[in-house]
Amino acid sequence: MPSPDASEADSSRPVISTSDSLQPVATKESQAVSVDDNSRPEALNGSPDKQTNGPVLDSISESKQNAKAMLSASGVSPAKSNSSEGQQQPPSNGTNGTNGVSVSRKRSRSGSVISSHSQDNASVIVRETPAEKILLEQYVYREFQHNALEATRNKSQELFHQKRAERDYLLALRRENQLNPAAIYGVGYEGYGNARTDLRNQHPQLLYPANRRRPGGKKTRELRISRKDLKAQSDLREDLVPIRLDCDWDKVKIRDTFTWNLHDRVVSPELFAEKLVEDLGLQPEACAPLIRQITQSIQEQLSDYFPHVFTQEDPLDPHLPYEAYKNDEMRILVKLNITIGQHTLV
């Protein structure tokens, strides 16, 4: 039991006014107040322990008064210290929910508390599948596999038979081609443009346009004009000369009129005569004198032709058209001598 001197010495010590040092003092003060309150009835009733515990109670009351004075001086009331101490003490049983269920601190996005239930008491459910069901599933699965295998095998067999039939057909076709080519390729063009395709032991041949057979069995020279000659001919002026043919040879009489370009450098009179005789259905080899006679007649008329005199004059005004300053007319004298029966027109 402490002596009064010791209590006075303790109360006279300097106290550091900090929050850490004030908390223990407030706790001691609350403990002293509770002890004093418990001892008051006994002191009032005149218990026999009053004389023995009198100095102790006096020292406790003095220390309580000193603690209250220090708390009031520091600005902390005893009621606030007791309430803060009560709030800082956590619950002893560790439960904050109803029926002893612990409430979790986790919250959902909406703000509601997520309750955590203990999984220790959860019963484990064991799934029991009958053996007959397992065997049935195995039978069905293996049946599906067997059906897929059979379908693949049947498809492979069909493809094998199809390829074998195709090989037999090609072999038979090769034998038929060696014996009778016309049964496969036909008679072809029968010699027009290509060789015949119904001949045995005939190899493919490349036939160029120069070696092809001309339609109609024509034998005269072909008219071939290069691009260079065509370009040169297009730059020349065109003057049409009237040509009149009047040829007699071995029961063949030709009477015809046409025009010929005086500046033609592509078609010669000899080639034109050959084409004309062949178009009339005559053989060019047998009608050589007739071809020479036609060629000579064309050349004589071309040499005797004199074109019209035309002078190229510059226009008086380059901006005016030709008809504005010159409108010449060309007049030709034509003599008619027509006799029809007893009537004569001169």
pLDDT in tens, 93-112: 444 444 544 555 667 677 67
Tell me the average pLDDT of the chain: 74
Q: What is the pLDDT of residue 191?
A: 60
Q: Is residue 282 part of a domain?
A: yes
Residue 150's domain comprises 132-165
Per-residue H/E/C for the chain: CCCHHHHHHHHCCCCCCCHHHHHHHHHHHHHHHHHHHHHHHHHHCCCCCHHHHHHHHHHHHHHHHHHHHHHHHHCCCHHHHHHHHHHHCCCCCCCCCHHHCCCCCCECCCCCECCCCCCCCCCCCCCCCCHHHHHHHHHHHHHHHHHHHHHHHHHHHHHHHHHHHHHHHHHHHHHHHHHCCHHHHCCCCCCCCCCCCCCCCCCCCCCCHHHCCCHHHCCCCCCCCCHHHHHHHHCCCCCEEEEEEEEEECCEEEEEEEEEECCCCCCCHHHHHHHHHHHCCCCCCCCHHHHHHHHHHHHHHHHHCCCCCCCCCCCCCCCCCHHHHCCCCCCCCCCCCEEECCEEEC
Q: Is residue 291 part of a domain?
A: yes
Q: Is residue 102 part of a domain?
A: no
Q: What is the pLDDT of residue 151?
A: 83
Q: Is residue 342 part of a domain?
A: no
Q: pLDDT category, 142, cuts 50, 70, 90?
A: very high
Q: Is residue 105 part of a domain?
A: no
pLDDT in tens, 277-295: 999 989 888 899 999 999 9
- Residue at which a domain ends, from 124, 149, 165: 165
Comparing 299 with 321, the larger pLDDT belongs to 299
Number of domains in the chain: 3
Judged by average pLDDT, the poorest of 107-116, 210-219, 291-300 is: 107-116
pTM of the predicted protein model: 0.37
Is residue 224 domain-shared with residue 304, that is, in the same domain? Answer: yes
Q: Is residue 246 part of a domain?
A: yes
Is residue 151 domain-shared with residue 223, that is, in the same domain? Answer: no
Q: Is residue 208 part of a domain?
A: no
Is residue 223 domain-shared with residue 288, that is, in the same domain? Answer: yes
Comparing 199 with 281, the larger pLDDT belongs to 281
- Residue at which a domain ends, from 55, 71, 86: 86
